[in-house]
Structure 1
Protein backbone atom coordinates (compact mmCIF):
# COMPACT_ATOMS: atom_id res chain seq x y z
CA UNK A 1 0.00 0.00 0.00
CA UNK A 2 1.24 3.49 -0.79
CA UNK A 3 1.11 6.43 1.63
CA UNK A 4 -2.29 7.68 0.49
CA UNK A 5 -3.81 4.21 0.87
CA UNK A 6 -2.44 3.91 4.41
CA UNK A 7 -3.75 7.34 5.38
CA UNK A 8 -7.16 6.58 3.84
CA UNK A 9 -7.30 3.26 5.73
CA UNK A 10 -6.61 5.10 8.98
CA UNK A 11 -9.36 7.65 8.31
CA UNK A 12 -11.79 4.84 7.53
CA UNK A 13 -10.85 3.21 10.83
CA UNK A 14 -11.56 6.47 12.68
CA UNK A 15 -14.93 6.81 10.99
CA UNK A 16 -16.24 3.23 11.15
CA UNK A 17 -14.56 1.71 14.19
CA UNK A 18 -13.97 4.66 16.48
CA UNK A 19 -17.08 6.46 15.18
CA UNK A 20 -15.61 9.92 15.58
CA UNK A 21 -17.74 12.96 14.84
CA UNK A 22 -17.57 14.76 11.51
CA UNK A 23 -15.72 17.71 13.05
CA UNK A 24 -13.12 15.48 14.71
CA UNK A 25 -12.64 13.57 11.46
CA UNK A 26 -12.11 16.86 9.64
CA UNK A 27 -9.38 17.80 12.14
CA UNK A 28 -7.67 14.45 11.66
CA UNK A 29 -7.98 14.85 7.90
CA UNK A 30 -6.28 18.26 7.99
CA UNK A 31 -3.37 16.84 9.99
CA UNK A 32 -3.02 13.85 7.67
CA UNK A 33 -3.03 16.04 4.56
CA UNK A 34 -0.24 18.11 6.07
CA UNK A 35 1.68 14.93 6.83
CA UNK A 36 1.05 13.58 3.34
CA UNK A 37 2.59 16.71 1.81
CA UNK A 38 5.71 16.21 3.93
CA UNK A 39 6.01 12.57 2.88
CA UNK A 40 5.59 13.46 -0.79
CA UNK A 41 8.07 16.34 -0.65
CA UNK A 42 10.69 14.10 0.98
CA UNK A 43 9.76 11.01 -1.07
CA UNK A 44 9.45 9.12 2.23
CA UNK A 45 7.46 5.90 2.55
CA UNK A 46 5.35 6.00 5.72
CA UNK A 47 6.43 2.42 6.44
CA UNK A 48 10.07 3.61 6.56
CA UNK A 49 9.39 6.80 8.48
CA UNK A 50 12.00 7.41 11.20
CA UNK A 51 12.28 9.51 14.33
CA UNK A 52 14.72 11.73 12.45
CA UNK A 53 12.08 12.30 9.75
CA UNK A 54 9.61 13.13 12.48
CA UNK A 55 11.88 15.77 14.02
CA UNK A 56 12.43 17.31 10.57
CA UNK A 57 8.67 17.37 10.10
CA UNK A 58 8.12 19.14 13.43
CA UNK A 59 10.80 21.67 12.58
CA UNK A 60 9.04 22.40 9.30
CA UNK A 61 5.71 22.87 11.09
CA UNK A 62 7.28 25.30 13.55
CA UNK A 63 9.07 27.24 10.83
CA UNK A 64 5.81 27.38 8.90
CA UNK A 65 4.16 29.20 11.79
CA UNK A 66 1.93 26.40 13.10
CA UNK A 67 0.85 27.20 16.66
CA UNK A 68 1.92 25.08 19.63
CA UNK A 69 -1.66 23.92 20.12
CA UNK A 70 -2.07 22.84 16.49
CA UNK A 71 1.34 21.16 16.57
CA UNK A 72 0.35 19.24 19.70
CA UNK A 73 -2.79 18.02 17.97
CA UNK A 74 -0.74 17.07 14.91
CA UNK A 75 1.65 15.02 17.04
CA UNK A 76 -1.32 13.26 18.64
CA UNK A 77 -2.73 12.44 15.20
CA UNK A 78 0.56 10.94 14.03
CA UNK A 79 0.88 8.88 17.20
CA UNK A 80 -2.58 7.44 16.53
CA UNK A 81 -1.75 6.82 12.88
CA UNK A 82 1.40 4.84 13.64
CA UNK A 83 -0.30 2.90 16.44
CA UNK A 84 -2.88 1.93 13.84
CA UNK A 85 -0.13 0.71 11.47
CA UNK A 86 1.36 -1.38 14.28
CA UNK A 87 -2.04 -2.84 15.11
CA UNK A 88 -2.58 -3.72 11.44
CA UNK A 89 0.89 -5.34 11.39
CA UNK A 90 2.12 -2.93 8.74
CA UNK A 91 4.88 -1.91 11.17
CA UNK A 92 6.57 -3.80 13.99
CA UNK A 93 6.89 -0.67 16.14
CA UNK A 94 5.89 2.99 16.02
CA UNK A 95 8.68 5.41 15.09
CA UNK A 96 7.03 8.15 17.18
CA UNK A 97 6.33 6.26 20.40
CA UNK A 98 7.45 8.25 23.40
CA UNK A 99 7.65 11.53 21.48
CA UNK A 100 6.23 14.39 23.54
CA UNK A 101 4.07 17.13 22.09
CA UNK A 102 4.76 20.80 22.90
CA UNK A 103 3.66 21.64 26.43
CA UNK A 104 0.56 23.79 26.59
CA UNK A 105 -0.77 25.92 29.37
CA UNK A 106 -4.43 25.06 29.79
CA UNK A 107 -6.49 28.26 29.88
CA UNK A 108 -9.44 28.54 32.20
CA UNK A 109 -12.74 28.19 30.34
CA UNK A 110 -14.58 31.41 29.61
CA UNK A 111 -18.00 31.58 31.20
CA UNK A 112 -20.80 34.07 31.78
CA UNK A 113 -21.78 35.51 35.12
CA UNK A 114 -25.25 34.73 36.45
CA UNK A 115 -26.44 38.25 35.61
CA UNK A 116 -25.09 37.93 32.06
CA UNK A 117 -26.92 34.62 31.66
CA UNK A 118 -30.16 36.24 32.83
CA UNK A 119 -29.75 39.08 30.33
CA UNK A 120 -28.89 36.70 27.49
CA UNK A 121 -31.85 34.41 28.11
CA UNK A 122 -34.19 37.41 28.19
CA UNK A 123 -32.78 39.03 25.03
CA UNK A 124 -34.60 37.17 22.19
CA UNK A 125 -37.77 38.77 20.88
CA UNK A 126 -40.64 36.62 22.09
CA UNK A 127 -43.00 38.01 19.45
CA UNK A 128 -41.28 36.50 16.39
CA UNK A 129 -40.87 32.81 15.47
CA UNK A 130 -37.08 33.21 15.30
CA UNK A 131 -36.99 34.90 18.68
CA UNK A 132 -39.16 32.20 20.28
CA UNK A 133 -36.89 29.51 18.79
CA UNK A 134 -33.72 31.28 19.90
CA UNK A 135 -35.05 31.77 23.43
CA UNK A 136 -35.73 28.03 23.60
CA UNK A 137 -32.28 27.14 22.22
CA UNK A 138 -30.50 29.38 24.71
CA UNK A 139 -32.57 28.07 27.61
CA UNK A 140 -31.86 24.45 26.68
CA UNK A 141 -28.14 25.08 26.16
CA UNK A 142 -27.70 26.73 29.53
CA UNK A 143 -29.91 24.13 31.25
CA UNK A 144 -28.12 21.12 29.75
CA UNK A 145 -24.57 22.08 28.73
CA UNK A 146 -24.91 20.51 25.27
CA UNK A 147 -22.25 20.91 22.59
CA UNK A 148 -23.21 22.88 19.47
CA UNK A 149 -23.25 19.70 17.38
CA UNK A 150 -25.61 18.09 19.91
CA UNK A 151 -27.99 21.04 19.89
CA UNK A 152 -28.40 21.19 16.11
CA UNK A 153 -28.98 17.41 15.86
CA UNK A 154 -31.63 17.18 18.60
CA UNK A 155 -34.87 15.55 17.52
CA UNK A 156 -38.36 15.65 18.99
CA UNK A 157 -38.02 12.10 20.30
CA UNK A 158 -34.93 13.15 22.29
CA UNK A 159 -37.11 15.27 24.58
CA UNK A 160 -38.86 13.60 27.53
CA UNK A 161 -40.63 16.58 29.08
CA UNK A 162 -42.59 14.47 31.57
CA UNK A 163 -39.47 12.93 33.06
CA UNK A 164 -37.43 16.12 32.64
CA UNK A 165 -34.66 14.63 30.49
CA UNK A 166 -32.95 14.98 27.13
CA UNK A 167 -31.52 11.91 25.41
CA UNK A 168 -28.38 13.13 23.70
CA UNK A 169 -26.18 11.44 21.11
CA UNK A 170 -22.70 12.78 21.83
CA UNK A 171 -19.15 12.24 20.66
CA UNK A 172 -18.35 8.77 19.36
CA UNK A 173 -22.06 7.96 19.04
CA UNK A 174 -22.40 7.64 22.82
CA UNK A 175 -25.86 8.34 24.20
CA UNK A 176 -26.33 10.03 27.57
CA UNK A 177 -29.28 11.24 29.59
CA UNK A 178 -29.19 14.89 30.69
CA UNK A 179 -31.67 16.35 33.21
CA UNK A 180 -33.25 19.68 32.25
CA UNK A 181 -34.97 22.16 34.54
CA UNK A 182 -38.73 22.64 34.20
CA UNK A 183 -38.35 26.33 33.30
CA UNK A 184 -36.26 25.45 30.23
CA UNK A 185 -38.66 22.68 29.21
CA UNK A 186 -41.56 25.13 29.49
CA UNK A 187 -39.83 27.56 27.12
CA UNK A 188 -39.03 24.66 24.78
CA UNK A 189 -42.66 23.53 24.85
CA UNK A 190 -43.82 27.01 23.85
CA UNK A 191 -41.48 26.93 20.85
CA UNK A 192 -42.65 23.45 19.78
CA UNK A 193 -46.29 24.46 19.97
CA UNK A 194 -45.93 27.72 18.07
CA UNK A 195 -42.82 28.84 16.18
CA UNK A 196 -41.77 25.35 15.15
CA UNK A 197 -45.14 24.77 13.51
CA UNK A 198 -44.77 28.09 11.70
CA UNK A 199 -41.40 27.01 10.27
CA UNK A 200 -42.79 23.63 9.21
CA UNK A 201 -45.93 24.79 7.46
CA UNK A 202 -47.33 21.66 5.82
CA UNK A 203 -43.98 19.87 5.91
CA UNK A 204 -42.93 17.18 8.39
CA UNK A 205 -39.65 16.93 10.26
CA UNK A 206 -38.41 15.30 13.47
CA UNK A 207 -35.57 17.80 13.85
CA UNK A 208 -36.12 19.95 16.93
CA UNK A 209 -34.65 23.35 16.10
CA UNK A 210 -35.64 24.49 12.63
CA UNK A 211 -34.74 27.31 10.27
CA UNK A 212 -37.32 29.43 8.49
CA UNK A 213 -37.18 26.90 5.65
CA UNK A 214 -38.22 24.07 7.93
CA UNK A 215 -34.82 22.40 7.98
CA UNK A 216 -32.51 21.74 10.93
CA UNK A 217 -30.47 24.82 11.82
CA UNK A 218 -26.73 24.67 11.17
CA UNK A 219 -23.87 25.14 13.62
CA UNK A 220 -23.04 28.44 11.91
CA UNK A 221 -26.57 29.71 12.40
CA UNK A 222 -26.40 28.72 16.06
CA UNK A 223 -23.14 30.67 16.50
CA UNK A 224 -24.57 33.72 14.74
CA UNK A 225 -27.79 33.77 16.76
CA UNK A 226 -25.95 33.48 20.07
CA UNK A 227 -23.65 36.33 19.07
CA UNK A 228 -26.62 38.47 18.00
CA UNK A 229 -28.45 38.10 21.30
CA UNK A 230 -25.28 38.53 23.33
CA UNK A 231 -24.77 41.93 21.73
CA UNK A 232 -28.44 42.78 22.31
CA UNK A 233 -27.95 41.86 25.97
CA UNK A 234 -24.95 44.19 26.24
CA UNK A 235 -22.43 41.36 26.51
CA UNK A 236 -19.38 42.63 24.65
CA UNK A 237 -17.10 39.62 25.13
CA UNK A 238 -17.18 37.22 22.20
CA UNK A 239 -19.20 34.19 23.20
CA UNK A 240 -19.97 30.91 21.46
CA UNK A 241 -22.06 27.78 22.08
CA UNK A 242 -19.16 26.46 24.13
CA UNK A 243 -19.37 29.53 26.39
CA UNK A 244 -22.86 28.35 27.32
CA UNK A 245 -21.48 24.88 28.04
CA UNK A 246 -18.68 26.36 30.16
CA UNK A 247 -21.21 28.48 32.07
CA UNK A 248 -23.45 25.47 32.73
CA UNK A 249 -20.57 23.45 34.19
CA UNK A 250 -18.95 26.31 36.10
CA UNK A 251 -22.20 27.38 37.75
CA UNK A 252 -23.11 23.81 38.72
CA UNK A 253 -19.75 23.20 40.37
CA UNK A 254 -19.73 26.62 42.03
CA UNK A 255 -23.10 25.69 43.51
CA UNK A 256 -21.68 22.51 45.03
CA UNK A 257 -22.56 19.91 42.35
CA UNK A 258 -20.65 16.62 42.41
CA UNK A 259 -17.81 16.50 39.87
CA UNK A 260 -18.76 13.01 38.68
CA UNK A 261 -22.34 14.07 38.08
CA UNK A 262 -21.21 17.05 36.01
CA UNK A 263 -18.87 14.75 34.06
CA UNK A 264 -21.81 12.50 33.19
CA UNK A 265 -24.00 15.44 32.13
CA UNK A 266 -21.25 16.89 29.91
CA UNK A 267 -20.46 13.50 28.37
CA UNK A 268 -16.75 13.62 29.21
CA UNK A 269 -14.96 10.29 28.92
CA UNK A 270 -12.19 11.48 31.27
CA UNK A 271 -12.93 13.30 34.52
CA UNK A 272 -9.70 15.29 34.03
CA UNK A 273 -11.51 17.16 31.25
CA UNK A 274 -14.28 18.12 33.67
CA UNK A 275 -11.80 19.29 36.30
CA UNK A 276 -10.94 22.41 34.29
CA UNK A 277 -14.30 23.75 35.51
CA UNK A 278 -13.33 23.49 39.16
CA UNK A 279 -11.81 26.97 39.06
CA UNK A 280 -13.11 29.25 41.81
CA UNK A 281 -15.39 31.97 40.45
CA UNK A 282 -15.12 35.53 41.81
CA UNK A 283 -18.70 35.24 43.05
CA UNK A 284 -17.83 32.08 44.98
CA UNK A 285 -14.78 33.74 46.52
CA UNK A 286 -16.88 36.70 47.63
CA UNK A 287 -19.52 34.39 49.11
CA UNK A 288 -16.91 32.40 51.04
CA UNK A 289 -15.34 35.64 52.30
CA UNK A 290 -18.67 37.03 53.47
CA UNK A 291 -19.65 33.87 55.29
CA UNK A 292 -16.33 33.12 56.96
CA UNK A 293 -14.42 36.36 57.46
CA UNK A 294 -15.14 38.08 60.82
CA UNK A 295 -15.68 41.39 59.06
CA UNK A 296 -17.19 39.96 55.89
Structure 2
Protein backbone atom coordinates (compact mmCIF):
# COMPACT_ATOMS: atom_id res chain seq x y z
CA UNK A 1 0.00 0.00 0.00
CA UNK A 2 3.00 2.28 0.39
CA UNK A 3 3.17 3.09 -3.33
CA UNK A 4 -0.49 4.16 -3.27
CA UNK A 5 0.17 6.32 -0.22
CA UNK A 6 2.87 8.24 -2.11
CA UNK A 7 0.50 8.76 -5.04
CA UNK A 8 -2.26 9.87 -2.67
CA UNK A 9 0.03 12.41 -0.98
CA UNK A 10 0.93 13.84 -4.38
CA UNK A 11 -2.80 14.10 -5.13
CA UNK A 12 -3.37 16.00 -1.89
CA UNK A 13 -0.55 18.41 -2.76
CA UNK A 14 -1.22 19.02 -6.46
CA UNK A 15 -4.99 18.60 -6.78
CA UNK A 16 -6.45 19.32 -3.35
CA UNK A 17 -3.89 21.96 -2.46
CA UNK A 18 -3.89 21.06 1.23
CA UNK A 19 -1.42 22.62 3.65
CA UNK A 20 1.81 20.85 4.49
CA UNK A 21 0.74 20.25 8.11
CA UNK A 22 -2.59 18.70 7.03
CA UNK A 23 -0.87 16.44 4.51
CA UNK A 24 1.66 15.28 7.11
CA UNK A 25 -1.19 14.45 9.50
CA UNK A 26 -2.90 12.38 6.81
CA UNK A 27 0.38 10.65 5.98
CA UNK A 28 1.09 9.78 9.62
CA UNK A 29 -2.42 8.39 10.12
CA UNK A 30 -2.18 6.21 7.02
CA UNK A 31 1.36 5.03 7.76
CA UNK A 32 0.13 3.84 11.13
CA UNK A 33 -2.64 1.82 9.51
CA UNK A 34 -0.36 0.42 6.78
CA UNK A 35 2.07 -0.81 9.45
CA UNK A 36 -0.85 -2.37 11.36
CA UNK A 37 -2.05 -4.13 8.21
CA UNK A 38 1.47 -5.36 7.40
CA UNK A 39 1.63 -7.04 10.83
CA UNK A 40 -1.29 -9.14 9.56
CA UNK A 41 0.35 -9.83 6.20
CA UNK A 42 -2.01 -7.46 4.38
CA UNK A 43 -0.09 -5.33 1.90
CA UNK A 44 -2.64 -4.83 -0.87
CA UNK A 45 -5.53 -2.37 -0.46
CA UNK A 46 -7.88 -4.92 -2.03
CA UNK A 47 -7.42 -7.12 1.06
CA UNK A 48 -8.44 -4.44 3.57
CA UNK A 49 -11.82 -5.09 5.20
CA UNK A 50 -14.10 -3.10 7.48
CA UNK A 51 -13.28 -5.56 10.25
CA UNK A 52 -9.58 -4.78 9.95
CA UNK A 53 -10.30 -1.05 10.02
CA UNK A 54 -12.42 -1.53 13.14
CA UNK A 55 -9.59 -3.46 14.81
CA UNK A 56 -7.18 -0.65 14.02
CA UNK A 57 -9.50 1.97 15.52
CA UNK A 58 -9.78 -0.28 18.57
CA UNK A 59 -6.01 -0.27 18.93
CA UNK A 60 -6.00 3.53 18.84
CA UNK A 61 -8.52 3.59 21.67
CA UNK A 62 -6.42 1.12 23.68
CA UNK A 63 -3.41 3.37 23.17
CA UNK A 64 -5.37 6.19 24.75
CA UNK A 65 -5.56 8.33 21.63
CA UNK A 66 -7.82 11.35 22.06
CA UNK A 67 -11.23 11.24 20.39
CA UNK A 68 -10.14 14.12 18.14
CA UNK A 69 -7.15 12.07 16.94
CA UNK A 70 -9.39 9.06 16.30
CA UNK A 71 -11.82 11.22 14.30
CA UNK A 72 -8.98 12.63 12.21
CA UNK A 73 -7.63 9.14 11.54
CA UNK A 74 -11.09 7.95 10.44
CA UNK A 75 -11.28 10.91 8.05
CA UNK A 76 -7.80 10.10 6.70
CA UNK A 77 -8.71 6.47 6.06
CA UNK A 78 -11.99 7.41 4.37
CA UNK A 79 -10.31 9.93 2.10
CA UNK A 80 -7.56 7.48 1.16
CA UNK A 81 -9.83 4.57 0.25
CA UNK A 82 -12.29 6.81 -1.58
CA UNK A 83 -9.32 8.00 -3.64
CA UNK A 84 -8.41 4.37 -4.42
CA UNK A 85 -12.00 3.68 -5.56
CA UNK A 86 -11.87 6.69 -7.92
CA UNK A 87 -8.54 5.44 -9.28
CA UNK A 88 -10.09 1.98 -9.85
CA UNK A 89 -7.50 0.39 -7.59
CA UNK A 90 -10.26 -1.17 -5.48
CA UNK A 91 -13.87 -1.85 -6.35
CA UNK A 92 -15.48 -1.15 -2.99
CA UNK A 93 -14.72 1.31 -0.20
CA UNK A 94 -14.10 -0.62 3.06
CA UNK A 95 -14.65 2.54 5.12
CA UNK A 96 -18.22 2.92 3.87
CA UNK A 97 -19.78 1.43 7.02
CA UNK A 98 -17.00 2.45 9.40
CA UNK A 99 -18.47 4.19 12.44
CA UNK A 100 -17.15 7.56 13.58
CA UNK A 101 -15.66 7.64 17.08
CA UNK A 102 -17.84 9.60 19.47
CA UNK A 103 -16.36 13.07 20.01
CA UNK A 104 -15.07 13.85 23.46
CA UNK A 105 -17.50 16.01 25.39
CA UNK A 106 -15.43 18.10 27.73
CA UNK A 107 -17.20 19.94 30.53
CA UNK A 108 -17.40 23.69 29.92
CA UNK A 109 -14.77 25.77 31.66
CA UNK A 110 -16.12 27.84 34.50
CA UNK A 111 -14.92 30.01 37.36
CA UNK A 112 -15.23 29.33 41.07
CA UNK A 113 -17.63 31.49 43.06
CA UNK A 114 -14.64 33.29 44.58
CA UNK A 115 -13.22 34.03 41.12
CA UNK A 116 -16.60 35.33 39.94
CA UNK A 117 -16.72 37.66 42.95
CA UNK A 118 -13.26 39.01 42.11
CA UNK A 119 -14.16 39.47 38.44
CA UNK A 120 -17.42 41.27 39.17
CA UNK A 121 -15.68 43.53 41.68
CA UNK A 122 -12.92 44.56 39.26
CA UNK A 123 -14.66 47.42 37.35
CA UNK A 124 -14.49 50.96 38.77
CA UNK A 125 -18.12 52.05 38.92
CA UNK A 126 -17.03 55.65 39.40
CA UNK A 127 -16.45 56.01 35.65
CA UNK A 128 -19.03 55.65 32.83
CA UNK A 129 -17.12 52.75 31.26
CA UNK A 130 -16.60 51.07 34.62
CA UNK A 131 -20.27 51.39 35.59
CA UNK A 132 -21.24 49.96 32.19
CA UNK A 133 -18.82 47.06 32.56
CA UNK A 134 -19.98 46.31 36.10
CA UNK A 135 -23.62 46.24 34.91
CA UNK A 136 -22.75 43.94 31.99
CA UNK A 137 -20.78 41.45 34.07
CA UNK A 138 -23.41 41.36 36.82
CA UNK A 139 -26.17 40.89 34.26
CA UNK A 140 -24.35 38.05 32.48
CA UNK A 141 -23.75 36.12 35.67
CA UNK A 142 -27.25 36.85 37.00
CA UNK A 143 -29.11 35.67 33.90
CA UNK A 144 -26.84 33.31 31.95
CA UNK A 145 -27.65 35.01 28.64
CA UNK A 146 -25.26 34.85 25.71
CA UNK A 147 -22.97 37.77 24.95
CA UNK A 148 -24.78 38.33 21.64
CA UNK A 149 -28.03 38.61 23.62
CA UNK A 150 -26.40 40.95 26.14
CA UNK A 151 -25.13 43.47 23.59
CA UNK A 152 -28.48 43.41 21.76
CA UNK A 153 -30.40 44.50 24.86
CA UNK A 154 -32.22 47.82 24.63
CA UNK A 155 -33.05 50.18 27.47
CA UNK A 156 -36.66 48.99 27.69
CA UNK A 157 -35.65 45.31 28.02
CA UNK A 158 -34.72 45.61 31.71
CA UNK A 159 -37.19 46.03 34.54
CA UNK A 160 -35.09 47.00 37.56
CA UNK A 161 -38.03 47.22 39.96
CA UNK A 162 -39.43 43.77 39.15
CA UNK A 163 -35.91 42.39 38.57
CA UNK A 164 -36.28 40.73 35.18
CA UNK A 165 -35.01 41.17 31.64
CA UNK A 166 -36.61 40.42 28.30
CA UNK A 167 -34.30 38.64 25.90
CA UNK A 168 -35.10 38.35 22.19
CA UNK A 169 -34.33 35.00 20.55
CA UNK A 170 -34.60 33.71 16.99
CA UNK A 171 -37.99 33.31 15.36
CA UNK A 172 -39.40 36.44 16.95
CA UNK A 173 -39.65 34.74 20.34
CA UNK A 174 -38.39 36.06 23.65
CA UNK A 175 -37.38 34.79 27.09
CA UNK A 176 -38.24 36.51 30.37
CA UNK A 177 -35.45 35.91 32.87
CA UNK A 178 -35.05 36.86 36.53
CA UNK A 179 -31.98 38.82 37.64
CA UNK A 180 -30.37 39.38 41.02
CA UNK A 181 -30.85 42.44 43.18
CA UNK A 182 -27.23 43.51 42.72
CA UNK A 183 -27.51 43.14 38.93
CA UNK A 184 -30.66 45.27 38.92
CA UNK A 185 -28.96 47.90 41.08
CA UNK A 186 -25.85 47.92 38.87
CA UNK A 187 -27.93 48.41 35.71
CA UNK A 188 -30.04 51.10 37.40
CA UNK A 189 -26.93 53.05 38.49
CA UNK A 190 -25.43 52.81 35.00
CA UNK A 191 -28.63 53.93 33.28
CA UNK A 192 -29.48 56.74 35.69
CA UNK A 193 -26.03 58.18 36.36
CA UNK A 194 -23.55 57.08 33.69
CA UNK A 195 -25.16 56.12 30.38
CA UNK A 196 -25.85 59.76 29.47
CA UNK A 197 -22.09 60.42 29.63
CA UNK A 198 -21.51 57.89 26.83
CA UNK A 199 -24.47 58.68 24.60
CA UNK A 200 -24.09 60.89 21.50
CA UNK A 201 -27.50 60.43 19.91
CA UNK A 202 -30.48 60.76 22.25
CA UNK A 203 -32.45 58.42 19.99
CA UNK A 204 -29.99 55.58 20.60
CA UNK A 205 -31.89 52.75 22.30
CA UNK A 206 -28.99 50.33 22.88
CA UNK A 207 -28.50 49.64 26.59
CA UNK A 208 -24.73 49.22 26.52
CA UNK A 209 -22.77 51.82 24.58
CA UNK A 210 -19.17 52.05 23.42
CA UNK A 211 -16.93 55.12 23.49
CA UNK A 212 -18.53 56.34 20.24
CA UNK A 213 -21.97 56.31 21.80
CA UNK A 214 -23.22 53.41 19.68
CA UNK A 215 -24.11 49.83 20.54
CA UNK A 216 -21.25 47.82 22.03
CA UNK A 217 -20.23 44.79 19.93
CA UNK A 218 -19.37 41.22 20.90
CA UNK A 219 -15.74 41.94 19.98
CA UNK A 220 -15.78 44.95 22.27
CA UNK A 221 -17.08 42.88 25.14
CA UNK A 222 -14.40 40.23 24.49
CA UNK A 223 -11.70 42.86 25.14
CA UNK A 224 -13.51 44.08 28.25
CA UNK A 225 -13.80 40.69 29.95
CA UNK A 226 -10.17 39.86 29.10
CA UNK A 227 -9.09 43.11 30.76
CA UNK A 228 -10.98 42.42 33.97
CA UNK A 229 -9.76 38.84 34.07
CA UNK A 230 -6.21 40.20 34.28
CA UNK A 231 -7.16 42.85 36.84
CA UNK A 232 -8.77 40.13 39.00
CA UNK A 233 -5.59 37.99 38.76
CA UNK A 234 -7.51 35.07 37.26
CA UNK A 235 -5.04 32.74 35.57
CA UNK A 236 -7.66 30.63 33.79
CA UNK A 237 -8.61 31.63 30.27
CA UNK A 238 -11.76 33.73 30.28
CA UNK A 239 -14.02 33.88 27.23
CA UNK A 240 -17.33 35.68 26.68
CA UNK A 241 -19.09 32.39 27.51
CA UNK A 242 -17.27 31.89 30.83
CA UNK A 243 -19.89 33.64 32.97
CA UNK A 244 -22.72 31.81 31.19
CA UNK A 245 -21.05 28.47 31.96
CA UNK A 246 -20.39 29.55 35.56
CA UNK A 247 -24.03 30.64 35.95
CA UNK A 248 -25.30 27.20 34.91
CA UNK A 249 -22.78 25.16 36.87
CA UNK A 250 -23.22 27.15 40.08
CA UNK A 251 -27.00 26.84 39.88
CA UNK A 252 -26.82 23.07 39.45
CA UNK A 253 -24.21 22.70 42.18
CA UNK A 254 -26.51 24.53 44.56
CA UNK A 255 -29.51 22.31 43.85
CA UNK A 256 -31.31 23.87 40.88
CA UNK A 257 -33.16 21.36 38.71
CA UNK A 258 -31.90 20.71 35.23
CA UNK A 259 -35.16 21.63 33.49
CA UNK A 260 -35.24 25.12 35.03
CA UNK A 261 -31.62 25.77 34.04
CA UNK A 262 -32.43 24.56 30.51
CA UNK A 263 -35.25 27.10 30.28
CA UNK A 264 -33.08 29.94 31.56
CA UNK A 265 -30.27 29.14 29.13
CA UNK A 266 -32.69 28.78 26.23
CA UNK A 267 -31.52 25.29 25.25
CA UNK A 268 -33.94 23.40 23.03
CA UNK A 269 -32.62 20.00 24.19
CA UNK A 270 -32.19 18.96 27.81
CA UNK A 271 -29.10 16.95 26.85
CA UNK A 272 -27.33 20.20 25.95
CA UNK A 273 -27.87 21.53 29.46
CA UNK A 274 -26.81 18.15 30.86
CA UNK A 275 -23.18 18.81 29.95
CA UNK A 276 -23.00 21.18 32.91
CA UNK A 277 -23.74 18.32 35.31
CA UNK A 278 -20.41 16.68 34.54
CA UNK A 279 -18.75 19.23 36.78
CA UNK A 280 -19.39 17.92 40.27
CA UNK A 281 -18.49 18.97 43.77
CA UNK A 282 -15.72 17.08 45.49
CA UNK A 283 -16.62 14.33 47.95
CA UNK A 284 -15.63 16.57 50.86
CA UNK A 285 -17.80 19.44 49.60
CA UNK A 286 -20.80 17.13 49.29
CA UNK A 287 -20.12 15.68 52.75
CA UNK A 288 -19.69 19.08 54.43
CA UNK A 289 -22.83 20.46 52.79
CA UNK A 290 -25.23 17.57 53.33
CA UNK A 291 -24.11 15.62 56.40
CA UNK A 292 -26.04 16.88 59.44
CA UNK A 293 -23.01 16.66 61.76
CA UNK A 294 -20.31 17.88 59.38
TM range (shorter): 0.5 to 0.7
The Cα of 1:173 is off from its aligned counterpart by 4.7
Q: Does 1:268 align with 2:259?
A: no
Change (3 A) 1:291 1:256: closer
The Cα of 1:157 is off from its aligned counterpart by 1.8
Q: Does 1:130 align with 2:129?
A: yes
Q: Following the alignment from structure 1 to structure 2, what is the Cα–Cα distance between the partners of residues 250 and 64?
A: 41
User: Matched residue of 2:102: which SS?
Assistant: coil
The correspondence of residues 112-261 of structure 1 with structure 2, limited to 5 A, is 112-171=111-170, 173-261=172-260
Match of 1:286 in 2: 284
The Cα of 1:63 is off from its aligned counterpart by 3.6
Give aligned pairs, total: 215
Q: Following the alignment from structure 2 to structure 1, what is the Cα–Cα distance between the partners of residues 222 and 169?
A: 19
Change (3 A) 1:294 1:209: closer
Larger Rg: 2
TM-score by length of 1: 0.64
**Unaligned 5+ runs, structure 2:** 1-11, 17-21, 29-66, 76-95
Q: Following the alignment from structure 1 to structure 2, what is the Cα–Cα distance between the partners of residues 184 and 252?
A: 16
Aligned-pair RMSD on alpha carbons? 3.1
Match of 2:86 in 1: none
User: Matched residue of 1:236: which SS?
Assistant: coil
Q: Following the alignment from structure 2 to structure 1, what is the Cα–Cα distance between the partners of residues 204 and 261?
A: 32
The answer to whether the 8 Å contact 2:107/2:279 transfers is no
The answer to whether the 8 Å contact 1:250/1:277 transfers is yes
Q: Per-residue CA shift, 1:197-221, capped at 9, x if unaligned?
A: 1111453211111001111111111
Q: Per-residue CA shift, 1:236-295, capped at 9, x if unaligned?
A: 11101211000000011111111111100000000000001113444x643322256698
Structure 1 segments, 4+ long, off by >3 Å, are: 62-65, 97-102, 171-174, 291-296
Q: Following the alignment from structure 2 to structure 1, what is the Cα–Cα distance between the partners of residues 239 and 132?
A: 17
| The 10-residue stretch of structure 1 (131-140 or 153-162) with the greater mean CA deviation from structure 2 | 153-162
Q: Following the alignment from structure 2 to structure 1, what is the Cα–Cα distance between the partners of residues 97 and 137?
A: 43
**Unaligned 5+ runs, structure 1:** 1-37, 43-58, 76-96
Match of 1:16 in 2: none
Change (3 A) 1:291 1:128: closer
| The 10-residue stretch of structure 1 (232-241 or 197-206) with the greater mean CA deviation from structure 2 | 197-206
Q: Following the alignment from structure 2 to structure 1, what is the Cα–Cα distance between the partners of residues 114 and 103?
A: 32
TM-score by length of 2: 0.65
Q: Following the alignment from structure 2 to structure 1, what is the Cα–Cα distance between the partners of residues 183 and 208?
A: 14
